Structure 1
């Protein structure tokens, strides 16, 4: 078990890709803090991890757009599990529509959660990682942040920002034995992909046809890559951006 004795915090882990990541880390022996804006979903996922994998797990409710809520969540995690060794910034929001039809309120929410929220949570765990001279930070961005995505213009901008943030941070913290890498999922079988189909079935069908592997990813296929990056097997990887897209993008 490659992560035995380590504490992982996964944001947006109540369902979807985040829950799959939490499960993959728990399967490798990590104690897992399941952070989600939905307190019930966080508690449910945490209980399932403990039962299935026999690890310590706690559900914490926090909107990562709220820095005070993030600090409170980290205090709870430190009390119940210990300092965070592995941070996975997965939480994100999106609204599928043309940019000209989107509103400033929607822009603000997407930017605040996806980009500022990622920065906020990272800053909240960084001091303890630096103090202990170890850590792994994995951002979940999107191939939309690398190549752009119609109907997701502001979302694409925030994910591009997350990628750049990860690269720059990796340079600063490498001296402290902290790695920072970014995973960019392609279309994945989650509620977000369902939003695309609701917005335009034609767009959804065209996207799936364009994937060389001819199907969307399963959340577990994203989670496996994250578990690798969290492990010592990836100790010499930092500042990297990995697409998990079935070949949809090859950059």
Structure 2
């Protein structure tokens, strides 16, 4: 889904794809998978931590984190989507992906080196203490997600052009896709802002709220990213 600040003409759109490399498909899938992995590990820590296999979680977080760091870092530093007039998309997708990827890679290293410590009787408390310092950054990125969502609604971003299959059917109502994507960022932002406070009382009411909002956003990003493999290919074919 190439984003636009305003609806495009119904026909005649041509895009020079050599000037605008687009890979927010895999970024969306990885972000969704990463959110679901975080929720799943958190739930397992609170309910059945002795069944956790730290090496497996380290591999999963490492694979997803590497994908997000490499794509997010490239998008953050080189602004590939600015080639034909969409520089804001590099901020919307690149920077959050980079930050989330760094979080996941840090977790992967910890789980690989010290994961066995999670299995002890004080595993939940220890995990909360270990995650507490980085939660400041998580909180900050939650505020950033709110800012992205507000920009999406204010400037009607995220609307697909008519040439894009499926999503393009709603091109005449750009507020629909703007609301959908902005809503996902709001969900992620809610979880991120609550995260530092949930760590203070891991078994309190905030932890389930964080799990629900991140779980819903993770499912949506994962499915939407998978769908975009078809819609983006169709857009490329229709605009070459």
Give the alignment's TM-score, normalised by structure 1: 0.29
Bigger helix fraction: 2
Bigger Rg over Cα: 2
